[in-house]
Chain A
Amino acid sequence: MTSALATSPIGFAHRHLLGIEGLSRFDIEALLDLSDKAVEVNRQVEKKLSTLRGRTQVNLFFEASTRTQSSFELAGKRLGADVMNMSVGSSSVKKGETLLDTAMTLHAMRPDILVVRHHSSGAVDLLARKVGCSVVNAGDGSHEHPTQALLDALTIRRHKGSFENLVVAICGDVAHSRVARSNIICLQALGARVRVIAPSTLLPTGIDRFGVEVYRDLREGIRGADVVMMLRLQRERMNGAYVPSVREYFRYFGLDAEKLALAAPDALVMHPGPMNRGVEIDSEVADGAQSVITEQVEMGVAVRMAVLEALAAHLPNA
């Protein structure tokens, strides 16, 4: 049994992972290097390490998410931690407890790592200031989803080698997407050129000041892109509030083979999941040769293992 992913000290000095914002290119690259090792481990028969042996990891999900929660759970378990899942349905939050009271209660239980998802932007940050352990943001409101950006970066790096002069097009509901925000920051830090593509109703105010190229036409925005990253459109935003209908959205902003043909011939197709087939992406493309969507899920576990190990390196009594 291998003891840890890292064979030398990890160049990551942060106590929490609350967002990509604030991380340096070296921080990100250190995590990606570590993730590459985790991928190797995960492909072995023996996947268990001992980095987090004796540590307690609590997954606190105020917003339901099967895939992110199970990915963090698996990552923690593979590193040897004791993992407990708390979801909103079974917690005292439903009984009216405030976020800070929940934090105090959890703090008293002395976990080592807290993985938090919350529907309000900034809630994870607030919680991090009230607990003694390391906190990982598993998605807060429309703010950040750092492990998603890291797993996307890992997937891209493993296919393209480098980010220099790489054109990444992020398409869809940018306004409400924490995935988009984290990815914009992450990809730019790594040296990629980022484009965002959406109807004006789904673009956040001031997006042109994010250092990205803004397109309101998918065909134009996708032209020559090396990576096409589709975002999920929530059901409640499909029927007339932000876009008039699924069929109109699919017609102009859904990725199908015809539109994908405008991207670079070897362009990667990505999606953070879960997909709405026939809304933002056509099945032919989602399941096609250029799609790396299931690979993203695999990278997700690896990236989360790397993050947990990097944070554990700085825990008391490590």
Chain B
Amino acid sequence: MPTWATPESFEPRPHAPMLFRNVRLLDPSSGTDEAGNLLVVGGEIADRGPLVGNDGLPEGAEVIEGRGRALAPGLVDMRVFVGEPGYEHRETIASASRAAAAGGVTTIVCMPDTDPVIDDVALVDFVMRLARDTAIVNVKPMAALSKRLEGREMTEFGLLTEAGAVAFTEGRRKITSARMMRRLLTYARDFDALVVHQPEDPDLAAGGVVNESEMASRLGLPGIPDEAETIMLMRDLALAGLSGGRYHAACLSCRASLPLLRIAKERGFRVTASVSVANLALNETDIGPYRTFYKLSPPLRTEDDRQALVQGIADGTIDVIVSNHDPQDAETKRQPFEESADGAIGVETLLAAALRLYHSEDVSLLRLIETMSTTPARLLGLPGGGLSRGAPADLVFFDPDAPWVVERERLCSRSKNTCFENARMQGRVERTVVAGRTVYSYDSEA
């Protein structure tokens, strides 16, 4: 049975040390995938190795028998739409953090397109206070690139970074003006701020609701061509090169984007990219009979695209896997396909869905953890993402092989718009630890 902790502020007592014994230690930061023990004391990783804890343990230490199950740095999900403030009926920081904990995600990075928009120091501060008081995992806000997300005036990158914003993005919105994007990247460079942008030309994509393809035509649905993504991506990459700013393309969806990214990286531009786990696990045919839970942005594309994205994760062209968690209430989804909202929840199923690539032998377990923990932590300047001594004890303990079925009603998100309903998953989170404190546990024997 699953169990969640309550927010730290309700029980601010020191947490007992814990020893994970005989676990498969996955640490992409040091490239290790080996059996061993790991000791957590005072919220930090105190030690790790084959013999750690064998000659005595700190008083009151909890011992967790690994029996070969995996222990990895907790996941850092770089793209989570929460809804608080402004859309609490979809998701609150508290409910998103419980979903994250159940999914082995120890840090969620929330998007700024809330109401009000997170474009001001006071809003960043508000979100961080709310997170401190109500969340059971780390919550880090990205701030808006432009004031009110209008794409005209840049926000205070310096002051917002000092306040705790980990990166800057328009969320679902796009920066249409190339001049604006150039200035944003140029200004961001001085603060080493990361500019995160979903590359999609809103003009070319206008009206589109699915991938533009034969299938879309048969369904009679307007499509979004690959070029909506590649044209904008080319522009952004060129401007990243011109300005020297750090750029991150959020949620790539098509094969044609990969060579563009490779060229930019070869030229030494400071660019990275992510893909939503849905685009790695599903393709456009999953939409079937107009199932609106599969209406996503970017859209699910062809199987050929999906395979290319998987290859991109395996070979390092794509750096990060995100959940693109986007809670929508039933009313906005229970609509004709064209009129329904985009998006699906996913933070809770991120690890399990990504593990499909491991079970299909396309991507190693270590590489998967790297894309969901080590790399996002590095890009955002967060501690964690590794299992080295002294690192914060943000951990996910999971059985990579345990089978389970996604039951919609059991998901913690306030909204239930999952595109993995009734999906068979292999790989279950058994315990999630944030700063040395167990925030979620699943007792498979109970």
Contact = CB atoms under 8 A, between A and B. Distances in A.
A201 interface: yes
Given A240-B146, A240-B147, A201 B186 contact: yes
A216 B159 CA distance: 16
Contacts of A244: 147, 153-157, 187
A216 B243 CA distance: 14
Contacts of A240: 146-147, 152-155
A248 interface: yes
A245 B120 CA distance: 11
- Interface of chain A: mostly helix, strand, loop or mixed: loop
Q: How many interface residues does chain B have, given as a range?
A: 10 to 19
A266 to B, nearest CB: 29
Is the contact region of chain B dominated by helix, strand, or loop, or is it mixed? helix
Most buried by A among B147, B153, B186, B190: B190
A248 B190 CA distance: 13
Contact of A241 (B153, B156, B189, B243): B153
B158 interface: yes
Q: Classify chain A: how many residues form its interface, as a range.
A: 10 to 19
A200 B146 contact: no
A201 B158 contact: no
Interface in A185-216: 199-201, 216
B407 to A, nearest CB: 46
Interface in A233-275: 239-245, 247-248, 251-252
Contacts, number: 45
A315 B74 CA distance: 81
Contacts of A201: 183, 186-187
A199 B152 contact: no
B158 A252 contact: yes
A32 to B, nearest CB: 36
Interface in A95-111: none
B159 A200 contact: no
A240 B180 CA distance: 10
A241 B159 contact: no
28 contacts: A199-B190, A200-B187, A200-B243, A201-B183, A201-B186, A201-B187, A216-B190, A239-B153, A240-B147, A240-B153, A240-B154, A241-B153, A241-B154, A241-B183, A242-B183, A242-B187, A243-B154, A244-B153, A244-B155, A244-B157, A244-B187, A245-B156, A247-B156, A247-B159, A248-B156, A248-B157, A248-B158, A252-B158
Interface of A: 199-201, 216-217, 239-245, 247-248, 251-252
